[in-house]
Amino acid sequence: MREPATSNYYAGHSALTDPGAYASLIGGLALDIPALCRILHGLLIHEAWIERQGFDPAAFAGQSRATLPVSKRLDQLLAIDPRPLTIARPGESRALATCRDFALILCAVLRQHGVQARVRCGFGSYFTGHPYHDHWVCEYWARDERRWVLVDAELDEPHRNLLKFDFEPTDVPRTAFITGIEAWQRCRTGAIDPAQLGHGTTSGLFFARVNLARDLLALAKKEISPWDTWRAAREPHLELDEAALLLWDGLAQRGEEGAVDIAPSLSAPPWL
């Protein structure tokens, strides 16, 4: 795999990964990806895993599941517990999060170290529910290996014990996580049944389009977008006619290389 054409693009912060006043704080963390993932496990807890890990949901009352810019997330974490980030917090002292928060903070730390990193939106095949479940991970360019490496910073030992995945979260196989771009293309070629992917009760080509858009936007360093309002979509926007299918086929074909140019056209989904 060849190195990204814009060699420093993904080493620079986006509006969301910019740590602001905390640049030296996260820059002081060791560039050790397994250790960084363990640090995140001690700072965040996924909303869906509170009770599974034996914690009281009431302890997180008033916290929002909304993804925060990294600078705001660090504000929150240090307000809860001002000790160094390397000290794992008790479960009830962690911040409520989703998979995107784990990916975003890891991406921020890597970018602060000058590593090319980006957040990817797609589908994991290692969760319960849908065979391909809506998910976000971090991806970094391993220069020595000349490849992009997927890291699922959310996956800790409780996840491993329940989900029984057989890979290292610091190098997720491309068979276990597929990007939004890949998922759309596989649905359209018949390699994947669109009904197998989604989030909750929402699935099919509609959701494949949502994550295709969000993946392209994340590649353009817009890790949060109006496409996150997909829960508000109603008919007729849940269906795609032939013209729409061809349009999205073309966007997927342009893929990673075209994401930055494509992003302005994805500034708002059709239901807004």
pLDDT confidence tier of residue 3, bands split at 50, 70 and 90: low
Q: Residue 7: which pLDDT band, with cuts at 50, 70 and 90?
A: low
Closest CA to 137 of 40, 71, 225: 40
| Pairing state between β 202-203 and 44-46 | unpaired
Average pLDDT, the chain: 95
- What local confidence, expressed as pLDDT, does residue 1 receive? 47
User: Does pTM surpass 0.85?
Assistant: yes
Buried b (16+ CB within 10 A) or exposed e, 20-36: eebeeebeebeeebeeb
Position 5 pLDDT exceeds 60: no
Q: Count CA atoms closer than 13 A to 38's CA, side-chain side.
A: 10
Section 114-124 average pLDDT: 98
Distance from C-alpha of 13 to C-alpha of 54, rounded to nearest angstrom: 36
Bridge-based pairing of strands 197-199 and 132-142 is parallel
**Domain ranges (residues) in the chain:** 9-266
User: pLDDT value at position 61?
Assistant: 86
Reported as a single tens digit per residue, the pLDDT across 167-197 is 999 999 999 999 999 999 999 999 999 999 9
Cβ burial, residue 119 (10 Å; 0-12/13-18/19+): buried
With beta carbons less than 8 A apart as the criterion, state whether 117 and 139 touch. yes
Span of 53-67, 121-135, 160-174 with lowest mean pLDDT: 53-67
| Confidence check: pLDDT of 33 > 70 | yes
DSSP 205-229: HHHHHHHHHHHHHHHTT--S-GGGG
Listed residue (195, 189, 160) closest to 176, CA to CA: 160
